Structure 1
Amino acid sequence: MKKVTIKDIANIAGVSISTVSRVLNGKGNVDPQLKERVLQVIKDTNFQPSSFARSFRKSSMQIDVVLSKWEEHYLRVLRGLTESLGEQQISVIPKTNLNNLGDFVVAIGEDFDDKLNASMTIGQELSSCSVVFDHFSTLNLIVSELLSKGIDSFAFLCEGLSNYRACKLYGAFMKIMFHHKIESYEIKMLNSKDPYDVAKELSILPGAILCSKDEIAAGVMKAFKDEGIKIPQQVSIIGYGNFSCGSLLGPSLSSVEYMNEETGRICGQYILKMINGEEIPKKIVLSTRLVKRESSL
């Protein structure tokens, strides 16, 4: 028989995990009716909270982490999360499948579907606590700076609209073009095409190209270098993700950083609040930043 977890108790009682945690630990204010409902579910399911309470008191709770892909920026978040919770002697265990997940599950990535019942998702809105990023503000600052340097034509290259981040970046780019009344722009969806080939399909050479991933930007740079197009003198190129390999390209790649160790540490602080039964926001919006290198003016 499957072990009943506090997540199961929360689902049956129709309350949040944090509410169940407060009832179990006797911390915080809980509405008497909700408390009675939780206690009744605990009784009906024969849930034994002693092991949970004991692990909490010993600060040896395990947090399961699921990554949508084993990519560098997701691993950075995992490292920051591990460091933050490790200071409280709480174990963080990466999971390669969705079987036998624990009481607290953190999902890192932008490709999950609504079947994943996570305590926190980092990268898309898909749980009772979602950590997402302000893509618009940084892209708007980038475009504003390029406009101030006389660049008035743009292109946006995206892998497709199959995940949360790509859709948000596409929406932000379109909003920025409208906001600045920019008429000369082009959008290319790769949809599994090679960025090298797509770069050569652009109708004109724009003054700047924004790419939804660093890998796309690297392919575009290779295509332009083979054509003798100078970067950034003729075209500025900016990627997304700030992968470590970007600094090794020639010229080195300017890139927007969003998922990093600091993100993981911030999320660790919110997870501690969740474990302690404290109320936390349903949506947490973190900022992004441009790491400017040689590929952009």
Structure 2
Amino acid sequence: MTTIGDIARLAGVAKSTVSRYLNDGSVSEATKRKIQHIIKETGYSPNAFAQSLKAKKPNIIGTIVPRLDSYASSRTLIGIDEELKTMNYQMLISHSNLDLEREIENIHSLVRQKVAGIILLATEITDRHLSIIKEVDIPVLIVGQQHKEIHSLIHNDYEAAYEVGKYILSQGHKRIAFLGVNEKNVAVGIDRKKGFKKSLEDIADIDVRFFEINRNNVEASSVVYDIMNTFCPSIIICATDNLAIGAMKAVYSMGISIPNDLSITGFGGYEMTEMIHPGLTTAKFFYEDAGNLAARKMLSLIRGEDTPLKTVSGFEIIYRESVRQV
């Protein structure tokens, strides 16, 4: 691989001269032409990250993700990366593995690396998050959660859950289980539950019970067994597609047929939900579009433009075979 040192040696100049040229510094026209010719001949490609560290205006955007194996995170990252490239920016990914301490350290690390801004795909916003975000001297954008004091981009969890609730009521379901997650995750654990509850207002003669898990499908299976053995609803509303798929597996092992004996819905719109049988009825969020929007919003913050604190990404209800009319 050709280095700055190689370019300097071939051009007969100092490495600092090549560095100034690459960062649009002061270099004579004759030297510029010589360096340009050698770069073309060698196919040298400057390291974008190293250039960003030295430039007065860095073009690296740090992105912190809680899970790399998450469909939502991966599609959002694709959207961010695609949009940043069109604006000549690069993305640097840090992985927190759902560890809040590691997430805080990732923020510090990215600031030390002089990124232009940070996009945080958050599952939870704590007082420590708020303190450090206020402390750093670069823009920070939260995706997936919101806080009244931080620029945020959220999915419309509340309205999506409201529409799911209205749909299952229209199908005649009156014995309903809602399988949610820990309320530390405001978007999934609180907003989806609130939106669903809103759809039930002024509806008589229904029996609705709420259940909660932390975050793994093993626990989901255990909770689903309890739901079916103690409550036996006609439908389970799952707060995520992953929970819905885990619930489907659990009820199949009990000899329960979907949707003949039990209907199930999810949230997310993951690709696998149309590949399984029966196809899963779900609220689809547009993660790549949200990533595009997050990148544009971040660049707006970097430029110091007037940017709204909260931006909301859209959704669509996908009606499939996992819900039947009763």
TM-score above 0.5, yes or no: yes
Query: Deviations along 1:102-127, whole A, 9 cap, x unmatched?
Result: 23111013234343326100011245
Residue 136 of structure 2 is aligned to residue 123 of structure 1: no
Does residue 198 of structure 2 align to residue 175 of structure 1?
Answer: yes
Consecutive unaligned residues of structure 1, counting only runs of 5 or more, are: 1-50
Deviation at 1:139, TM superposition (A): 2.0
Contact 1:68 1:111 in 2 (8 A): no
Greater RCO (Cα-Cα under 8 Å, separation 6 or more): 1
Which residue of 232, 238, 261 corresponds with 2:259?
232
* Counterpart Cα distance in 1 of 2:90 and 2:226: 49
Letter in 2 for 1:174: K
Equivalent in 122, 126, 134 of residue 113 of structure 1: 126
Mapped contact 1:246–1:252 kept (Cα < 8 A): yes
Q: Which residue in the other structure is 1:201 paired with?
A: 226
TM-score, length of structure 1 as denominator length:
0.74
Q: Which residue of 1 aligns with 2:59?
A: 61
Corresponding position of 1:157: 179
- What is the distance in 2 between the residues matched to 1:182 and 1:88? 55
> Is the radius of gyration larger for structure 1 or structure 2?
2
Change (3 A) 1:179 1:289: farther
Query: What are the residue-to-residue correspondences of 1:254-269 with 2, within 5 Å?
Result: 254-258=281-285, 260-269=287-296
RMSD: 2.5
Read off the aligned partner of 1:147 and give its amino acid letter. Answer: L
**Greater helix content:** 2
How big is the shift at 1:88?
1.1
Q: CA deviation at 1:262?
A: 0.6
Provide the rounded CA distance (Å) in 2 between the counterparts of 1:263 and 1:181: 37
> Whole-Å Cα distance in 2 between the matches of residues 62 and 94 of structure 1?
10
1:54 positional shift: 5.7
Distance in 2 (alpha carbons) for counterparts of 1:247 and 1:143:
21
Give the Å deviation of 1:244.
Answer: 2.9
Moved more, 239-248 or 282-291: 239-248
- 1:210–1:239 contact (8 Å) kept in structure 2: yes
Q: Distance in 2 between matches of 1:207 and 1:143?
A: 14
The number of equivalent residue pairs is 244
Cα drift, residue 169 of structure 1: 1.6
Secondary structure of the residue aligned to 2:222 is helix
Q: CA deviation at 1:55?
A: 5.5
Contact 2:124 2:185 in 1 (8 A): yes
Asked whether 1:273 is paired with 2:296, we answer no
Q: Which residue of 2 aligns with 1:75?
A: 74
Taking a change above 3 Å as real, the CA distance of residues 272 and 103 of structure 1, as seen in their structure-2 partners, is: closer
The one-letter amino acid paired with 2:83 is: S
Distance in 2, Cα, partners of 1:104 & 1:285: 20
Deviations 1:177-228 (A, max 9, x none): 2354463111111246622221121233222211112222112112222223
Match in the other structure for 1:135 = 157
Unaligned ranges ≥5, structure 2: 1-51, 96-105, 134-138
Matched residues, percent identical?
22
1:168 CA drift (Å) = 1.5
